[in-house]
Amino acid sequence: MPYRICKTFSVESGHILSKHPGKCRFPHGHSRRIDVVLAAETLDENDMVCDFQFVGKLIKEFIEQFDHAICLNTADPYFAFYRAAYERVVAFEDQDPTSELMARRVFDHLQEELEKTSETVARRVRVVSVRMHETATSWAEYEG
């Protein structure tokens, strides 16, 4: 696909990587940047892949679930404690909430929303990738 756009979102989120052998097995947080890349073979009547507001409409609410939340593996021995103590818990079923899996979760949701929308743009545009920045120097990416 010759044309690509990227819409970036930011959230503050925490996670615990219960399988990690080092310090990441303890609660910690990140200022995350999430880059969503879409592509199209042709431009629309406005000479765009699609309007950036369209991308936000499809995914912004979903991404906001991560903001000021803690992401946890449901198999973590303290999962029930955190779920009872905090209202903003994002569960990852038997998986550690790594940046790789967060990127895939965002990708899959955006793809589903794109397939569900009745807007014409959905037939021309496809999701290329989601890049989940964990720090200023580290990111993980998922491509469908």
Average pLDDT for residues 4-26, to the nearest whole number? 96
The pLDDT value recorded for residue 110 is 96
Half-sphere exposure of 72 (CA within 13 A, CB side): 19
Q: Is 47 helix (H, G, I), strand (E, B) or coil?
A: coil
Q: What is the Cα Rg of the chain in Å?
A: 17
The pLDDT value recorded for residue 123 is 84
Does residue 35 surpass a pLDDT of 90? yes
The pLDDT value recorded for residue 120 is 80
What region does 59 belong to: left with phi over 0, alpha with psi -120 to 50, or beta?
alpha
CB atoms near residue 110 (< 10 Å)? 21
The pLDDT value recorded for residue 1 is 66
Does residue 45 surpass a pLDDT of 70? yes
Model confidence over 109-144: pLDDT tens digits? 999 999 998 778 878 999 999 999 999 999 999 998
The pLDDT value recorded for residue 117 is 85
Question: At 135, which helix (H) or strand (E)?
Answer: strand 125-135
Taking the C-alpha atoms of residue 16 and residue 110, their distance in angstroms, rounded to an integer, is 25
The pLDDT value recorded for residue 92 is 98
Work out whether the CA dihedral 69, 73, 74, 75 comes out positive or negative: negative
The pLDDT value recorded for residue 139 is 98
Model confidence over 54-104: pLDDT tens digits? 999 999 999 999 999 999 999 999 999 999 999 999 999 999 999 999 999
What domains appear along the chain, each with residue ranges and CATH number? 3-34+47-143 (3.30.479.10)
Taking the C-alpha atoms of residue 108 and residue 102, their distance in angstroms, rounded to an integer, is 10
Q: In what order do the strands lie in the sheet with 125-135?
A: 89-92, 69-73, 3-15, 28-40, 125-135, 138-143
Average pLDDT for residues 3-7, to the nearest whole number? 97
